[in-house]
Structure 1
Amino acid sequence: MLNIRHFANTIVGKPGNIGVRTERIIRALSAQGDSGYCLSRQAQLKSPGFVYRDMGWLGHLPRLLNAARIYLAPGFNHRYPDVKLFEWFAARHWQEASAGPRPIAHVWDACPRLLTALKTAGIPVLLDMPVAPTAYSLRIAEQYDLDFLMTHRSMLDFEQAACELADLIAAPSRFVAEELQRIGVTPDKIRIAEFGVDPPSGPTKPRPPKKPGAALDFCFAGNINRRKGVDLLLDAWRDPAFAGDNLHLCGRLYPEIDVAAATNPVLTPGFVNTFEYLPNCDVFVFPSWLEGSAKAVFEAMACGLPAIVSDASGSVVRDGIDGFVIAAGDRDALRERMLWFKTHPEQIRAMGDNARARARQFSWDGYAAKVVEMYRELADRAHACVAPIDKAAR
């Protein structure tokens, strides 16, 4: 039986949150009779066999810090106080959280102080790295003169120390795995567990073929900001060839994005149910500068949309099969691929069918199973280290 202790700087079970993944894993562990502990900001969903401790009113502070960054002080390093607050709280309770036979810790943020305490106590640690490390942000910010990425060196030191302390590191994509190797993490320490998608059950509505010259509906879903490449998307959208088409920007609109300046039709419906909204669109576009593995891309593919994504989106899109993969920041390539679908409308349905089939290969149950296998690997390692000592003692 596994005894997994989660340290999750998130709201467990909240949609659109890292805590969705935490809850999926805990649910899988509970279903197979394993037990554990979860220390988090808050837990909206709970599973039998697990003990939960939340941060109370302190758990609301990270959201206030993030709001300050968005609306009051762009560039504010909200992550540093966020992580330090969680690490302080976790350090106060880590011994309680680490009780029970042969515990294994899953730490969901770069918290070197917490990892040091766990490792000193002989507890194996799986570190979750959901996005590319800060070193990547620093590199591309300098290369492309970007002033909107979180490039604070304090986080660079945190991540470097945490990666050195962890026994295994869970990465959501090959992109993140490669960036971890760039900062010195050895490949044998990295395990990839792709995110998943669980589309609604029931028959899939066939997509009618698009006729040549028909208007197209391009769409994006996520935070509508510069980090996601939306300013580049709007630049590409200025092409007169898109005058009869629509661009749907779904999600939270950041003040830094001026939709009113668009010369071609742009719709901003706010937050939407992707499985209800996206099937009414034709092509998904996601030109992000920095991700780990964007869940919105999985959902769009599951809806049967071909996707144009950046190589920094960490997606499972196969270039030329499910859509296209372009270099992050290449607005010309972005525009050309969008225009390509206008001149090849028959490929919207063909690539969309490929995308839907591809998305079926990645479920949340599959994601949870891969992470549980990481726990088992750590448990086997710990047992192998202890067994010879026990035998010698006898």
Structure 2
Amino acid sequence: MKYYYGQARISVAKVIQRGLGNADGVYTFNGAGLELMQYARSRGLRTVMEQTIAPMEIERQLLAEEQKIFPGWQEPEPDDEYVRAYIAREQAEWCEADVILCGSEFVREGIAACGGPVERCVVVPYGLAKNHFGSVPTRSPHNGPLRVLTVGAVGLRKGSPYVLEAAKLLKGRASFRMVGPLGFTTKINDNLSGHIELVGPVPRASIQDHFAWADIFLLPSLCEGSATVTYEALANGLPVICTPNTGSIVRDGIEGAILCQIKI
């Protein structure tokens, strides 16, 4: 956090030093544009900020709750001066933005919960480029358990403990696969690998092979902006099971299922 906080300020200072030329506005991202928006507003330019994930204050609250439920999954992040400075910076950016773009209603609600200017928030879901994937893979019927895929960094924020609990509950009836970086203790990894196929990180070029393997995509995230991997799963013809906090465009009972309660 210390590094990111410092780099954001350095990068913005370089942009301001170069000047904005004939620009009539600036587009920034949360945590990275406070001084730039202040500079732009002082010159009468329009300011647009994209809140890429729910506010840091909300994220830390949610993770603190999960760490109590699932101790040992990951070390609590320190509540130091840099974290508090980042939270204050993020909230100051809202005050400088003419428009705050939110990838999901969950993000907008997070800003509202922190006392932010929700009247300036506009929800604009993300999407995928048309050439991002090829045609939807043809899936042949297969005998055996249901195939459940999760893609993303394995950890508390992505709801990985709930994937593990589901795998235990559905043992013999469903096969679970996790694709993404692992960063846990040997004990946690051993527990996961006893019930879930842990693939680890893969090149983007091969991710579609995993979508083709799956019958269902599962992402019970605790905090996101709008998880683009859910769009990728939909583009590959998979029903998606996720939480409201995942920030997806999935409609309950249509493209998949929304888990409003993920305690198992």
TM-score, normalized by the shorter chain, greater than 0.5: yes
1:104-143 map, 5 Å: 104-110=25-31, 111-141=33-63, 143=65
- 2:3 maps to 81
The counterpart of 2:175, out of the listed 238, 243, 246, is: 246
Q: Give the conservation status (yes or no) of the 8 Å contact 2:12–2:35.
A: no
Distance 1:82 1:265, change over 3 A: closer
TM-score normalised by L of structure 2: 0.83
- 2:263 maps to 331
Q: Give the conservation status (yes or no) of the 8 Å contact 1:149–1:227.
A: no
The counterpart of 2:225, out of the listed 288, 292, 295, is: 292
The counterpart of 1:161, out of the listed 77, 83, 92, is: 92
How far apart, CA to CA, are the structure 1 residues paired with 2:154 and 2:92?
A: 32
Paired residues, what number? 248
1:341-356 map, 5 Å: none
Q: Give the conservation status (yes or no) of the 8 Å contact 1:285–1:308.
A: yes
Distance 1:129 1:103, change over 3 A: same
2:124 matched to 1:193? yes
> In the alignment, residue 264 of structure 1 is paired with which amino acid?
H
Distance 1:248 1:288, change over 3 A: same
**More relative contact order in 1 or in 2 (CA 8 Å, sep 6+)?**
2
Distance 1:124 1:309, change over 3 A: same
- 1:31 maps to none
- 2:253 maps to 320
3-state SS of paired residue (1:194): coil
- 1:309 maps to 242
- 1:207 maps to 139
How far apart, CA to CA, are the structure 1 residues paired with 2:118 and 2:7?
A: 31
Name whichever of 186-195 and 154-163 sits farther off.
186-195
Q: Deviations over 1:201-229 (max 9, x none)?
A: 44x44434566xx3121111011122211
2:153 matched to 1:223? yes
> In the alignment, residue 125 of structure 2 is paired with which amino acid?
E
Residue segments in structure 1 that go unaligned for 5+ positions in a row = 1-77, 333-394
Residue segments in structure 2 that go unaligned for 5+ positions in a row = 69-74
How far apart, CA to CA, are the structure 2 residues paired with 1:169 and 1:150?
A: 28
Q: Give the conservation status (yes or no) of the 8 Å contact 2:158–2:220.
A: yes
Distance 1:223 1:269, change over 3 A: closer
Shift of 1:84: 2.5
How far apart, CA to CA, are the structure 1 residues paired with 2:196 and 2:112?
A: 42
> In the alignment, residue 302 of structure 1 is paired with which amino acid?
A
Provide the alpha-carbon RMSD of the alignment: 2.5
Shift of 1:193: 1.9
Q: Percent identity?
A: 22
Q: Give the conservation status (yes or no) of the 8 Å contact 2:53–2:223.
A: yes
Q: Deviations over 1:328-367 (max 9, x none)?
A: 6x231xxxxxxxxxxxxxxxxxxxxxxxxxxxxxxxxxxx
- Higher fraction of helix: 1
- 1:283 maps to 216
3-state SS of paired residue (1:312): helix
> In the alignment, residue 228 of structure 1 is paired with which amino acid?
K
2:19 matched to 1:92? no
3-state SS of paired residue (1:227): coil
Q: Deviations over 1:12-55 (max 9, x none)?
A: xxxxxxxxxxxxxxxxxxxxxxxxxxxxxxxxxxxxxxxxxxxx
3-state SS of paired residue (2:246): coil
Higher Rg of the two aligned structures: 1
Name whichever of 264-273 and 310-319 sits farther off.
264-273
Q: Give the conservation status (yes or no) of the 8 Å contact 2:179–2:200.
A: yes
How far apart, CA to CA, are the structure 1 residues paired with 2:179 and 2:172?
A: 20
Shift of 1:140: 2.6
3-state SS of paired residue (1:233): helix
The counterpart of 2:24, out of the listed 100, 103, 110, is: 103
The counterpart of 1:266, out of the listed 184, 197, 206, is: 197
TM-score normalised by L of structure 1: 0.57
How far apart, CA to CA, are the structure 2 residues paired with 1:150 and 1:225?
A: 17
